[in-house]
């Protein structure tokens, strides 16, 4: 059964910090001036504190994890004495020789071997207080190391959260700091992002079960859950905000500060995965319902906020990586909008940004943006954004904006100019018009046009040659190119 907790993960910056790590018994035995020697039982015990007692049965006063120190003043039944210590959870027994016993009683050695309790011989020149002081010193060193590890992890996670791919970067750092597997799962166990070595199918299934325990994020659901499967230590943490997401971690061992480090990652991932709330969610829902019921876009635009104008942004990862909904949502949040369409693998991410919001380059992305447009002209703005993205990719520019007509072109009478443009371009099909537009905008570059349109450069050459034939013009003539460009801008 997994162990669940209804309390939140340890928050970053908590005054208590991570728990103090236990001290390995081997570390205490390595302190030469104490002269301690293990003479029975296993060697892999871990000490949480030190306690001295000469009671015949100290069981009622033990918390578990102690190194119990005794001189055996009332030791009469070694087997019962050791059995009670093991039952109380004592980590090890330290037996001081002289003045009560000249040597450690053989029956006590045999009992410790039989019950699996480490037995340490304490020489006559070693006070019990010296042992306690050494344990506290080792604990202080261990706590300092653990605090330093947690601090470094916190810095690394915060730096990762500022990268262009914040969610994968945070998970990668978490998998490095807690060597193992870190993944972001939905309540259904679907893996959205993951980093670190791939777990076995059994561990993956167990992590999925833990995510279903915590991810619903309802009032009665725990915020964290832990489990073990063979040597693997498994943990799951619900992300804040009722998002139905869980951070899962699988490691080969568990350190005291791991929970604190995971808690830092939970806070960062909750912020990164949270939907941007720039416009009221109820208003967006109402706008969508009205559109589906046949309302005109201009009628529902006020429900979406902004000044009534919208900028359409098309985006692709600069390295060509596939984009998932969370990464697309993070881009929308950076641009100031929750209206994001992640599309499919081969499609660009589309973001609808309120017209008053500036469009700025985003690290790791190539963007194409339309000019601000009213709600009833978003289809044309969508086309503009697609063209702008193509030009941005072709010119390796992080952001290209399809600006409105300016200068001399803006002085042309709209009606006659549009009529002339339609007549001039009438012989061309839509693909030819788009190829001609892109080719002219890129100053006749075959290679850049091919990149922008995602076609072969020979296809571009064939289409441009066909345009020249159908229009009956010489496309090498600058006057012809200028007239065609003005016509295309009027379209």
Q: Residues 9-33: what's their mean pLDDT?
A: 71
pLDDT beyond 50 at 411: no
CA dist 439 and 368 (Å) reads 17
pLDDT at 283: 64
Helix (H) or strand (E) holding 340: strand 340-341
Q: Residues 7-33: what's their mean pLDDT?
A: 68
At how many degrees (to 10) do helices 128-161 and 166-177 cross? Answer: 160
CA dist 115 and 117 (Å) reads 6
Query: Lowest-confidence range among 41-50, 320-329, 394-403?
Result: 320-329
pLDDT tens figures, 276-326: 444 455 566 676 667 667 777 667 766 666 667 888 999 988 887 878 777
pLDDT tens figures, 450-480: 888 888 989 989 988 988 888 888 888 888 8
CA dist 4 and 250 (Å) reads 16
pLDDT beyond 60 at 408: no
pLDDT beyond 90 at 35: yes
pLDDT at 427: 86
Cβ burial, residue 458 (10 Å; 0-12/13-18/19+):
exposed
pLDDT tens figures, 231-240: 899 998 888 7
pLDDT beyond 50 at 10: no
The counts of H helices and E strands in the chain are 16, 19
CB 191 within 8 A of CB 245: no
Number of Cβ within a 10 Å radius of residue 157: 24
Rg (CA), the chain: 35
Percent of the chain with pLDDT over 70: 83
pLDDT beyond 60 at 15: no
Cβ burial, residue 407 (10 Å; 0-12/13-18/19+):
exposed
Q: How far is CA 210 from CA 205, 226, 260, in A?
A: 9, 8, 19
Which domains, ranges and CATH numbers included, belong to the chain? 3-15+142-273 (3.30.450.30), 37-125 (3.40.1390.20), 281-404 (no CATH), 408-490 (1.10.10.2840)
Residue length of the chain: 491
Q: How far is CA 286 from CA 289, 296, 307, 375, in A?
A: 5, 13, 18, 16
Q: Residues 394-423: what's their mean pLDDT?
A: 68
pLDDT tens figures, 180-210: 999 998 877 888 889 998 889 999 888 888 8
pLDDT at 1: 43
Cβ burial, residue 203 (10 Å; 0-12/13-18/19+):
buried
pLDDT tens figures, 45-96: 999 989 999 999 999 999 999 999 999 999 999 999 999 999 999 999 999 9
pLDDT at 278: 42
Q: Residues 224-230: what's their mean pLDDT?
A: 87
Asked if the bond preceding 323 is cis, omega within 30° of 0, the reply is: no
Nearest Cα to Cα of residue 351 among 310, 307, 313: 313
CA dist 3 and 299 (Å) reads 53
pLDDT at 3: 42
Coil, helix or strand at residue 131:
helix
- CA of residue 260 relative to chain centroid, distance: 16
- Tokens matching residue 426: 């009438």
Query: How sure is the predictor about 39, in pLDDT bands with cuts at 50, 70 and 90?
Result: very high
pLDDT beyond 50 at 359: yes
Pairing outcome for strands 399-401 and 365-369: parallel
Query: Lowest-confidence range among 223-227, 274-278, 374-378, 398-402?
Result: 274-278
pLDDT at 397: 87
């Amino acid at each position: 059964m997994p162990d669940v907790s209804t309390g939140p993960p340890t928050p970053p910056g908590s005054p208590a910090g991570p728990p103090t790590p236990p001290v390995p018994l081997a570390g205490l035995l390595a302190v030469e001036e104490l002269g301690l020697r293990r003479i029975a039982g296993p060697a892999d015990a871990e000490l949480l504190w030190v306690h001295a007692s000469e009671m015949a049965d100290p069981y009622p006063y033990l918390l578990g994890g102690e190194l119990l120190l005794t001189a055996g003043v009332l030791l009469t039944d070694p087997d019962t004495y050791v059995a009670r210590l093991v039952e109380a959870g004592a980590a090890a027994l330290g037996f001081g020789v002289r003045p009560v016993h000249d040597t450690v009683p053989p029956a006590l050695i045999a009992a410790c071997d039989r019950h699996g309790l480490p037995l340490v011989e304490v020489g006559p020149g070693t006070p019990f207080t010296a042992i306690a002081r050494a344990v506290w010193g080792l604990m202080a060193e261990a706590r300092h190391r653990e605090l330093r590890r947690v601090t470094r992890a916190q810095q690394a996670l915060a730096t990762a959260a500022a990268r262009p791919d914040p969610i994968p970067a945070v998970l990668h750092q978490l998998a490095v700091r807690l060597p193992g597997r870190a993944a972001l799962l939905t309540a259904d166990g679907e893996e959205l992002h993951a980093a670190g070595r791939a777990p076995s199918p059994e561990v993956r299934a167990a992590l999925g079960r833990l995510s279903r325990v915590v991810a619903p994020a309802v009032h009665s659901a725990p915020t964290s859950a832990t489990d073990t499967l063979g040597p693997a230590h498994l943990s799951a943490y619900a992300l804040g905000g009722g998002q139905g997401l869980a951070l899962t971690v699988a490691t080969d061992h568990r350190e005291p500060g791991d929970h604190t480090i995971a808690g830092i990652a939970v806070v960062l991932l909750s912020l990164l995965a949270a939907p941007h709330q720039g416009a009221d969610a109820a208003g967006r829902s109402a706008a969508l319902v009205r559109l589906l019921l046949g309302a005109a876009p201009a009628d529902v635009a006020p429900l979406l906020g902004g000044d009534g104008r919208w900028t359409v942004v098309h985006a692709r990862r600069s390295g060509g990586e596939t984009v998932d909904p969370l990464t697309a949502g993070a881009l929308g949040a950076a641009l100031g909008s929750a209206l994001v369409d992640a599309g499919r693998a081969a499609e660009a991410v589309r973001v609808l940004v309120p017209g008053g919001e500036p469009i700025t380059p985003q690290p790791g992305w190539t963007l194409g943006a339309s000019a601000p447009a009213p709600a009833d002209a978003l289809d044309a703005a969508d086309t503009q954004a697609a063209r702008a993205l193509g030009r941005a990719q072709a010119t390796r520019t992080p952001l290209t904006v399809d600006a409105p007509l300016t200068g001399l072109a803006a002085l042309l009478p709209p009606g006659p100019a549009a009529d002339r443009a339609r007549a001039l371009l009438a012989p061309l099909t839509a693909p030819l018009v788009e190829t001609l537009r892109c080719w002219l905008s890129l100053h006749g570059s075959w290679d850049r046009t091919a990149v922008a349109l995602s076609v072969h450069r020979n296809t571009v050459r064939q289409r441009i040659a066909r345009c020249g034939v159908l229009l009956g013009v010489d496309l090498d003539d600058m006057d012809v190119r200028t007239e065609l460009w003005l016509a295309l801008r009027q379209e």
